[in-house]
A = this chain, B = another copy of it.
Amino acid sequence: MQVNLGVHGERSYEISIETGNLDRLGEKYRHVQSQSEQAGRVKIGEKIAIVSNPTVFGLYGERAISALKRANFEVSYCELPDGEKSKNLRSIEHIYDHALEHGLERSSTLLALGGGVIGDMTGFAAATWLRGLNVVQVPTTLLAIVDSSIGGKTGVNHPNGKNLIGAFHQPRLVLADPQVLATLPAREFRAGMAEVVKYGVIGDPELFELLESAPSLTQAQIDPLLLATILTRSAAAKADIVSKDEHETQGLRATLNYGHTIGHAIESVTGYQVVNHGEAVALGTIAAGELALKLNLWTAADANRQSTVLQNAGLTVAALPTAIEPANIDQIIAALKADKKVQAGKGVFILPTQIGATKTIEYRPDDLAHQLVSDPLIKQVLTAMLPIQSI
């Protein structure tokens, strides 16, 4: 499938999700290179620097390098530490130093091999070195395949907030090999399903029905054919939205934030150390579904359908990691106020009106507090989290 961007398609790119893709990486990118040349687009040169972390590189690094070398690319490897803690400007400077040492030019490519953290950092370094290198995303987690690798959002964390530092920079190719999901920790797989459920609820009722009818949505038991469909369909949903609203200026891309407003606040208040992003989104989705019910936006039947699917993926409040001490509701409100989408003191909440449709609700974080704490389920979601001072 394709993300279509630019009046003459000058920022368009292919998303390829196929078994065996990892070994076809070099040949696929050669194809992008020659197409790009014919279309007179930004040049793609011979140098590629793979950016990854020890865990992912240990599993797939050699195969990626071999595939690129078979296609005669000049390959180097830039290693970053594992985990969200490394998602800062120091890591970006490490990529810059690598780029300088290896003589990367404007036509060179940074290739992100990893999950969302690696993808976001590699994209940001590519956006800001020599005013823009090419970037290829090779996502290796469920969340990165269906979400973060597509759409050009790149960035790192500021000590006081996630992804506050960033830029839009579209990849030249997104290439995923579903086989890599076999080595993904079960917790990561479950977290990624939160974003999949999101696509169903915000705009793809057929995808939602597929999820609903599956006997299981866990990594161990999911049907491989269903998984393939889920990956393609979710990526297509993201690609479609990004194609219509590249820079989140039309309101459409904002619908992707379903479950993320409260999710981000939970991540922030717990210092990014208790739940991972997908888990926070799952909690945010549960809370948003409940809030929609409270505001009479959708029916109890729809809310139940959502709960059942999340449960089928192992995403329930009880199953997710919770903290020892309950969070202070004031901290959640403060985190909602600091959300980077807040404009003139007002935030935007994406809430469902039925399975497959959403409505955008403006809110003032203070006003929302009352709604949030007066609902037992939302309160349970919010106060299960431990306040931690900083990331």
Binds B, one of A65-73, A128-136, A297-305: A128-136
A168 contacts chain B at the CB level, 8 A cutoff: yes
Select from chain B the residue with minimum beta-carbon distance to A161.
B100
- Whether the Cβ atoms of A165 and B344 lie closer than 8 Å is no
**What's the Cα separation between A166 and B169 when bound, in Å?**
13
**What's the Cα separation between A165 and B126 when bound, in Å?**
10
With A89-B93, A100-B158 known as contacts, the answer to whether A153 contacts B131 (CB < 8 A) is yes
Task: Give, as a whole number of angstroms, the nearest-CB distance from A274 to chain B.
Answer: 23
Which of B100, B130, B340 meets A166, CB within 8 Å?
Answer: B130
- Whether the Cβ atoms of A168 and B132 lie closer than 8 Å is yes
Produce 1/0 per residue, A153-169, CB < 8 A to B.
10100101100111110
Which of B7, B96, B153, B342 meets A7, CB within 8 Å?
Answer: B7
A residues apposed to B, CB below 8 Å: 7, 42-43, 45-46, 89, 93, 96, 100, 105-107, 124, 127-132, 153, 155, 158, 160-161, 164-168, 247, 249, 340-344
- Whether the Cβ atoms of B164 and A96 lie closer than 8 Å is yes
- Whether the Cβ atoms of A106 and B340 lie closer than 8 Å is yes
Which residues of chain B are within 8 angstroms of A89 by Cβ–Cβ distance? 89, 93
**What's the Cα separation between A93 and B159 when bound, in Å?**
11
- Whether the Cβ atoms of A343 and B96 lie closer than 8 Å is no
Which residues of chain B are within 8 angstroms of A42 by Cβ–Cβ distance? 249
With A167-B131, A344-B45 known as contacts, the answer to whether A158 contacts B105 (CB < 8 A) is no
- Whether the Cβ atoms of A43 and B105 lie closer than 8 Å is no
Task: Give, as a whole number of angstroms, the nearest-CB distance from A171 to chain B.
Answer: 16
Which residues of chain B are within 8 angstroms of A93 by Cβ–Cβ distance? 89
**What's the Cα separation between A160 and B100 when bound, in Å?**
8
**What's the Cα separation between A166 and B129 when bound, in Å?**
6
Which of B130, B166, B340 meets A128, CB within 8 Å?
Answer: B166
Which of B129, B164, B249, B340 meets A164, CB within 8 Å?
Answer: B129
Which residues of chain B are within 8 angstroms of A342 by Cβ–Cβ distance? 105
Task: Give, as a whole number of angstroms, the nearest-CB distance from A222 to chain B.
Answer: 34
With A7-B7, A93-B89 known as contacts, the answer to whether A106 contacts B343 (CB < 8 A) is yes
With A106-B343, A343-B106 known as contacts, the answer to whether A167 contacts B167 (CB < 8 A) is yes
With A166-B128, A166-B131 known as contacts, the answer to whether A107 contacts B343 (CB < 8 A) is yes
Select from chain B the residue with minimum beta-carbon distance to A125.
B165
Select from chain B the residue with minimum beta-carbon distance to A168.
B131
Task: Give, as a whole number of angstroms, the nearest-CB distance from A340 to chain B.
Answer: 5
**What's the Cα separation between A316 and B158 when bound, in Å?**
47
- Whether the Cβ atoms of A344 and B46 lie closer than 8 Å is yes
Which residues of chain B are within 8 angstroms of A130 by Cβ–Cβ distance? 164, 166, 340
Select from chain B the residue with minimum beta-carbon distance to A40.
B249
**What's the Cα separation between A129 and B128 when bound, in Å?**
13
With A89-B93, A160-B100, A249-B42 known as contacts, the answer to whether A128 contacts B344 (CB < 8 A) is no
**What's the Cα separation between A54 and B342 when bound, in Å?**
32
With A46-B344, A105-B342, A158-B96 known as contacts, the answer to whether A128 contacts B167 (CB < 8 A) is yes
Task: Give, as a whole number of angstroms, the nearest-CB distance from A148 to chain B.
Answer: 14
With A7-B7, A100-B161, A164-B96 known as contacts, the answer to whether A341 contacts B129 (CB < 8 A) is no
